[in-house]
Structure 1
Amino acid sequence: MSLPAPLTGVVPPLCTPLTPTGAIDVRSLTALVERLVGAGVNALFALGSSGEAAYLDDRARRTVLETVIAAADGRVPVLAGAIDMTTARVLDHAGAAAGLGADAIVATAPFYTRTHPVEVADHFRRLREGAGLPLFAYDIPASVHSKLTSAIILPLAADGTLAGLKDSSGDDGALRRLLVEIRRRELDGAFSVLTGSELDVDGALLAGAHGVVPGLANVDPHGYVRLYRHARAGRWDRAAAEQDRLAALFALTDTGDPALMGGSSSALGGFKAALRLIGVIDCPATAAPQVPLGDAALKAVRHVLEEGGLLP
């Protein structure tokens, strides 16, 4: 379907349900898409960090996109992650996504090798030309070791290379300053700034962000849709109350024992355990070599869901 410009609203980065043997669980992924679309989200982002894209081979990535695009059935746009180390490899993923019917591409700066801002800008220009689809830059320096600064983003927004930015940098000050410059240069009518923070959505929207890409929306899409609608209607007290509830719910990402697993294993395991407990997916497995949640963590996830009103 046609991608709105700018893209606004709630754009969940889909989890990727797996079977106990590590295959893509097509039935569960379809059910997750149906739940999110039914909740009123504005678009879907497949194969991002919450989708464990870094752990999936090309065949599995293709299965995910085929499933999500078919399940969305033109009701909302589908953004496809084309995340890889180099321009050539990202172009391969982007071409495959375009061929399957994705509506836009999401890509990071190159990683593993350290790149200069001139090279990062050239990377995005090559992707936009090669993919032939709207392109969103994904700023996640904790994983990519290259911050997408305003000096990189603003010229690419102005010349139409980028349709938007997903900001997962955690740098609220830099985000605020970027939003000020986007408005000053009158780019906010076509360029979309989406925050990747689950915990400060009301603040980002108040500052002028166009929308949000929250992993926690896999678990509680209705909450983020309510938050966004309250904010857009100027009901900031109700938006803040919804944000407070979601901030408490985010505790399910911290249930894993840090002595036994990393933060990513805990967060993704928490999302998937929650989705299993509320009956959306069949199996909470995460991709190897991530460590699965133990029994104590699963009990903690259940308690957080009960406290958040998502389980009786």
Structure 2
Amino acid sequence: MTIRRKPFGRTLCAMITPFTEAGALDLEGAGRLADRLVAGGCDGLVLSGTTGESPTTTDSEKADLIAAVREAVGDRAALVAGVGTADTRHTAEGARAAEKAGADGVLVVTPYYSRPPQEALEAHFRQVADASGLPVMLYDIPGRTGTRIEPETMIRLAEHPRIVAVKDCSYDFLGTQKVLAATELAYYAGCDEHVLALYAVGAAGCVSTVANAVPGRIAAVLDAFDAGDTARAAELQLGVTPLIEAMMDAGLPGTVTAKALLGRLGLPAGPVRPPLLPAGRETADALAALYERLVAP
């Protein structure tokens, strides 16, 4: 199989955005968390994505977060900044601001609510890619946006020199393979249960929410595969599956469960911002118990 380039690294964490107990942006905590994630095995961080509560952080907070995390990790990890909105002009402005703040790339989600047709989607992404000098990771997550980036559209967009990657939450494994076969786009599994499966057919890596808590475990899955030990890679993927299910498929957003678990571990997290509500004590207890079983020697 052709080795696919990894423009933003291999093991990326969809980092939460820490807040103080009063709900303000916790830049010191963000720097400490970012340093822990990189030390734990992440060579890329996605800031202000879904897990980073992008809908409820301001443009200035997003820029401040990039600057603080860059100061904390230096050049040890690529920083991909979520800038996607439902407004093409606003998204283009966000891409320029992310470039100025020190990001290495931008994550651009499909515009939501208005449900643009494929021709409009293509024009949107091209306009955003033209707005700055940063490489673009497209974010295909139709379960949240209501609109899929169809494989044929993705193949056309791959012709743009700055559209280089995809965060794949499409749950269309066949469609993803079609694009992998036809383009040089670097695919990143955006669903933790797909980390190994997508990597095995040529993805560049993953953008993991669960890595907020166990960065080393997610990196180890890909390490084993790269070493040719596919049985060990499968064992590690299955071993982390209970935590993946508890964090990502238990009826709560990953932001909520990640912050609940990090809080229990004494790591920077803080509250979620409304309209999200914090996890209950029972959920936090269960997450902490799963974490202890996973990391126990």
Structure 1 position 255, deviation (Å): 9.1
Q: Which residue identity lines up with residue 204 of structure 2 in the other structure?
A: H
Whether contact under 8 Å (1:269, 1:284) holds in the other structure is: no
Taking structure 1 as the reference length, what is the TM-score of the superposition? Answer: 0.88
Among 244, 249, 270, the residue aligned to 1:250: 244
Summarize the alignment of residues 27-38 of structure 1 with structure 2, pairs less than 5 Å apart: 27-38=28-39
State the distance in 1 between where 2:7 and 2:104 align.
13
Superposed CA deviations along residues 16-41 of structure 1, whole A, max 9, x for unmatched, are 11111111112221111101111232
- The aligned counterpart of 1:137 is 138
What SS does the corresponding residue of 1:159 show, helix, strand or coil? coil
Q: Which residue identity lines up with residue 259 of structure 2 in the other structure?
A: K
What SS does the corresponding residue of 1:80 show, helix, strand or coil? strand
Whether contact under 8 Å (1:255, 1:301) holds in the other structure is: no
What SS does the corresponding residue of 2:221 show, helix, strand or coil? helix
Whether contact under 8 Å (2:189, 2:203) holds in the other structure is: yes
Whether contact under 8 Å (1:37, 1:76) holds in the other structure is: yes
- The aligned counterpart of 2:217 is 223
Summarize the alignment of residues 75-90 of structure 1 with structure 2, pairs less than 5 Å apart: 75-90=76-91
Summarize the alignment of residues 224-239 of structure 1 with structure 2, pairs less than 5 Å apart: 224-239=218-233
State the distance in 2 between where 1:176 and 1:125 align.
23
State the distance in 1 between where 2:231 and 2:208 align.
20
Q: Which residue identity lines up with residue 205 of structure 1 in the other structure?
A: Y
Taking structure 2 as the reference length, what is the TM-score of the superposition? Answer: 0.93
Superposed CA deviations along residues 184-235 of structure 1, whole A, max 9, x for unmatched, are xxx2xxx311111101211111111111111001110001111111111221
State the distance in 2 between where 1:233 and 1:240 align.
13
What SS does the corresponding residue of 1:146 show, helix, strand or coil? coil
The verdict on how the C-alpha distance between 1:8 and 1:58 changes in structure 2, with shifts beyond 3 A counting, is closer
What SS does the corresponding residue of 2:271 show, helix, strand or coil? coil
Q: Which residue identity lines up with residue 273 of structure 1 in the other structure?
A: A
State the distance in 2 between where 1:55 and 1:29 align.
16
Structure 1 position 47, deviation (Å): 0.7
Among 257, 266, 273, the residue aligned to 1:279: 266
Structure 1 position 110, deviation (Å): 2.0
Taking only aligned residues, the RMSD between alpha carbons, in angstroms, comes to 1.9
Among 187, 199, 202, the residue aligned to 2:196: 202
Q: Which residue identity lines up with residue 76 of structure 1 in the other structure?
A: A
Whether contact under 8 Å (1:5, 1:163) holds in the other structure is: no
Structure 1 position 299, deviation (Å): 1.5
The verdict on how the C-alpha distance between 1:247 and 1:285 changes in structure 2, with shifts beyond 3 A counting, is same
Whether contact under 8 Å (1:66, 1:100) holds in the other structure is: yes
Q: Percent identity?
A: 26
- The aligned counterpart of 2:18 is 17
Q: 283-292 or 235-244, which moves further after superposition?
A: 283-292
- The aligned counterpart of 2:286 is 300
The verdict on how the C-alpha distance between 1:304 and 1:123 changes in structure 2, with shifts beyond 3 A counting, is same
The verdict on how the C-alpha distance between 1:254 and 1:221 changes in structure 2, with shifts beyond 3 A counting, is closer
Summarize the alignment of residues 53-202 of structure 1 with structure 2, pairs less than 5 Å apart: 53-182=54-183, 187=184, 191-202=185-196
What is the aligned length? 293
Segments of structure 1 that go 5 or more residues without pairing to the other structure are none
Superposed CA deviations along residues 60-109 of structure 1, whole A, max 9, x for unmatched, are 22222221122121222111110211110101111111111111111012
Whether contact under 8 Å (1:85, 1:110) holds in the other structure is: yes
Structure 1 position 112, deviation (Å): 2.1
Whether contact under 8 Å (2:13, 2:207) holds in the other structure is: yes
Whether contact under 8 Å (1:255, 1:300) holds in the other structure is: no
State the distance in 1 between where 2:101 and 2:44 align.
17
Q: 77-86 or 105-114, which moves further after superposition?
A: 105-114
Among 277, 284, 294, the residue aligned to 1:291: 277
Summarize the alignment of residues 39-58 of structure 1 with structure 2, pairs less than 5 Å apart: 39-58=40-59
Q: 296-305 or 89-98, which moves further after superposition?
A: 296-305
What SS does the corresponding residue of 1:12 show, helix, strand or coil? strand
State the distance in 2 between where 1:44 and 1:19 align.
21
Q: 88-97 or 52-61, which moves further after superposition?
A: 52-61
